[in-house]
């Protein structure tokens, strides 16, 4: 979780940066960006939200309003493909972004949440 100077949560679940189009609150942190394949530390501003719901709503709006994510949204029903398409569309500079997202999706804790007590998907 990205936190502000006083340790307050930003509720930014998707790492969306606060560029000139963003009119809301922001949190500035040191982050790792990849430039020409090399990791570099730099300061960046990220969007801050009042709660998790606002983060989810803005994420959807962010993807829907940007034409470069059109193909990504077309595979929203296939989470692993979705993660790869996000990386291909330039969502993150990390060259391993797609595989990292897949690793998170495949963690036991997330799999348990999507399964019922009988082991069947709910």
pLDDT digits (tens, 9 = 90+) for 64-116: 999 999 999 999 999 989 999 999 999 999 998 888 888 888 876 555 545 45
Tell me, yes or no, whether 122 lies in a domain. no
CA distance 107 to 39: 26
pLDDT tens-digit readout, 4-19: 888 899 999 999 999 9
> Residues with catalytic annotation?
33, 58
Kind and range of the H or E run holding 43? strand 38-47
Count of domains for the chain: 2
Tell me, yes or no, whether 121 lies in a domain. no
**Is residue 1 domain-shared with residue 51, that is, in the same domain?**
yes
**Is residue 35 domain-shared with residue 91, that is, in the same domain?**
no
**Is residue 79 domain-shared with residue 43, that is, in the same domain?**
no
**Is residue 45 domain-shared with residue 103, that is, in the same domain?**
no
CA distance 8 to 73: 31
Tell me, yes or no, whether 92 lies in a domain. yes
**Is residue 56 domain-shared with residue 75, that is, in the same domain?**
no
Domain of 20, CATH number, reads 2.10.70.40
Residue 104 structural domain: 66-116
**Is residue 16 domain-shared with residue 60, that is, in the same domain?**
yes
pTM recorded for the entire structure: 0.79
């Amino acid at each position: 979780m990205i936190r502000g100077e006083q340790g307050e949560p930003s509720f930014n679940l998707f790492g969306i940066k606060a560029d000139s189009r963003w009119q809301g609150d922001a949190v500035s942190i040191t982050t790792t960006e990849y430039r020409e394949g090399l990791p570099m530390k730099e300061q960046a501003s990220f969007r801050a939200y009042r709660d998790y719901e606002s983060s989810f709503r803005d994420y959807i709006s962010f993807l829907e309003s940007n034409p470069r994510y059109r193909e990504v949204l077309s595979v929203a029903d296939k989470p692993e493909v979705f993660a790869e398409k996000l990386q291909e569309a330039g969502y993150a500079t990390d060259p391993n972004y797609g595989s990292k997202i897949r690793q998170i999706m495949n963690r036991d804790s997330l799999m348990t949440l999507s399964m019922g007590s009988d082991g069947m998907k709910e």
